[in-house]
Structure 1
Amino acid sequence: MKIVAPVALLGLALLGGCGQARSAPESADAVQQRAIDAQTAQRRTGAEIQDRALNRVIRTVYLCDNGERLTVDFDNPRAMATVRNSHGEAADLFQERTADGIWYRAGRTELRGKGILATWTADGRADTRCRAID
């Protein structure tokens, strides 16, 4: 019995060292490649990004040619957008079908656009071009 305990301890010590040892990278290229591999593993797929965009409220800030600043909350699950201007006025617009880009409207108020450019039409005012800044 006295011999079994030292043998068991020796066996545990040997088993503890069986894990893979990490060695320092051999070159700067190896370090860079490890970083690239880690970033690639963390990137989201296009489907994940699209799912996130379609199921959340996304806030975008536009700066318009007339000096107006619009904050737009695109509520994709409800197919609406809430547009707030720099004076604190808000308008709830409903999504319309479009072949490309965005189109939200309610009555004679609408926000249309594609990419970072949009046209804001507020009831009774001239159309103004806007550019997303956030």
Structure 2
Amino acid sequence: MSRRSSRPGRDHAPALTDTSPCPCGLPATYGECCGRFHSGEHAAPTAELLMRSRYSAFVAQDAAYLLRTWHPATRPPHLEIDPGMHWKGLEILGTTDGSSFHSSGTVTFRARYRHHGKRGEVHERSSFERHGGAWVYVDGVFLE
């Protein structure tokens, strides 16, 4: 089955199918990697895989997935995704805990983007916790 992550009326979101390369940077197709998390078929088993799937959700402009994987204590009531933001690459710089044996973890990353033609990057250390048995994003600290 092929999925499109772009929504009707959202021509700016890239179309991702099960056979597309996964935007998260792992050597797998979208369907084998982050697509299975976005569809709800599976939950990310580690904080790093949740981080990667959230990055891919930003690429796909999937606000529903981002909200669903955000800790209820820190989750905003809604999320507007800027159509001028085009994510270009993710680099995981380090992880602390966040495996199936942990209840919390951090992922430090750099994400490159173009925003209305200008290049930039986000350098962040994100915190994750298990909530109801699933990994969720809690918050992040921007790094220089």
TM-score class normalised by the smaller sequence = under 0.3
Q: Which has the larger radius of gyration?
A: 1
- Normalised by the size of structure 1, how large is the TM-score? 0.25
Q: Greater RCO between the two (CA within 8 Å, min separation 6)? A: 2
Scaled by the length of structure 2, what TM-score is found? 0.24
